[in-house]
Amino acid sequence: MKKNGESELVSPIHDFLAELHAKCAADDSGAVATYIPELAKADPDWFGICIVTANGSVYEIGDTRQEFTIQSISKPFVYGLALEDNGLDTTLDRVGVEPTGDAFNSISLDPGTGRPRNPMINAGAIATAGLIAGKTPLSRFKRILETFSTYAGRPLKVDHTVYLSESETGHRNRAIGHMLRNFDKLTGDPAPTTEIYFQQCSISVNCRDLGIMAATLANRGVNPLTGKQALRSEYVENVLSVMGTCGMYDYAGK
């Protein structure tokens, strides 16, 4: 069901989503993330479902307009931008594409090449952030934010409170950044690139945004609602392949 003045779609999907939402809303298992202090403040009762098709149909129910930070969902979209900026060969020289059984924040590189295993783990994502073109860290992050906004079809912004919380507690990721610099998978001071990574994870989105961003990848990199190209079509398969093989970290095999 569309909101904010959008036309209503008549579809049995509405009834299915309503049934699914009612069935799952009472499930209070699990817990909110606490590895970043600010994330622990999230309300565990927030629950929304949004489906966006590759032709631009939007179906949603629940708290689909509640904003939260994108966190690791940012990784494939930044990887796509790195591919556009550098091409496949240069990108593969810095970041591999093989699944790993390691934890997402593991401090480890491929023993043969010194590369992170793939762009979905933190080491690979930080290396990927280092591949974004721009003369300054500000201009590099601005390009990331603009790209994400094209994917979502609306201007997105950073949750600065979450960003500061990530930056103040991100010692492990800083260690990864220095390790990457040691193996020349980052050039120059690793600190600005690590901060870009903290910022990209702190971009605010809602459930509907993520549905549209996913539909954009499913639509060969073209946002199905705005018609704007977010990722050149020749790189969409690379991004989807890495998501499919590596996107669940140590659970990818399952």
Beta-strand ranges (E) seen in 139-224 are 204-205
Q: Identify the band that residue 18 occupies on the pLDDT scale cut at 50, 70 and 90.
A: very high
Inform me whether the pLDDT recorded for 6 exceeds 60: no
Instruction: Tell me how far apart the alpha carbons of residues 155 and 160 are, in angstroms, rounded to a whole number.
Output: 16
Three-state SS at 105:
coil
Q: Which domains does the chain have, with CATH numbers?
A: 68-204+227-251 (3.40.710.10)
Inform me whether the pLDDT recorded for 4 exceeds 80: no
| 6 secondary structure, DSSP code | P
Instruction: Tell me how far apart the alpha carbons of residues 27 and 45 are, in angstroms, rounded to a whole number.
Output: 9
The pLDDT score that the predictor gives to residue 37 is: 95
For residue 154, what are its two tokens? 């609306």
pLDDT in tens, 157-214: 999 999 999 999 999 999 999 999 999 999 999 999 999 999 999 999 999 999 999 9
Q: Identify the band that residue 236 occupies on the pLDDT scale cut at 50, 70 and 90.
A: very high
The pLDDT score that the predictor gives to residue 3 is: 47
> How high is the mean pLDDT of the chain?
94
Inform me whether the pLDDT recorded for 142 exceeds 80: yes
